[in-house]
A = this chain, B = another copy of it.
Amino acid sequence: MAKTPEPPYYAVIFSSKRTDVDEGYGTVAQRMVELASGQPGFLGVESARGTDGFGITVSYWTTLEAIAAWRAQGEHRIAQTNGRRKWYEHFEVRVAHVERAYHGP
């Protein structure tokens, strides 16, 4: 669970359906988390994928500029290309401004 500060901040919701193709997916996915964590403005990341191949990754950021910089990062761009070409059957990216947060229990 990501330990994010009090809102406001930003969330990037990445919903995806995987193909059956492995070809380094796990290693690259792990590397992207590592890389993102080192980016300016990174606040945290959460990820879940079911056995049906549908997954959601939410990363949290301070600003839209931080998100844009991460999207343009070199190694990440290569991963994005591979994602479109072989790892994802379909994906949706939603950039959202977190306004309120609470937790339990």
Contacts and interface: CB of A to CB of B under 8 A. Distances in A.
A1 B84 CA distance: 16
A94 B64 CA distance: 18
Chain B CB within 10 Å, residue with most, of A13, A47, A98: A13
Interface of A: 1-2, 4, 7, 11, 13, 15, 17, 46-51, 54-56, 58, 83-85, 88-105
19 contacts: A1-B17, A2-B15, A4-B92, A4-B94, A11-B11, A13-B98, A46-B54, A47-B50, A48-B56, A56-B56, A83-B104, A84-B105, A90-B103, A91-B104, A91-B105, A92-B101, A92-B102, A93-B103, A96-B97
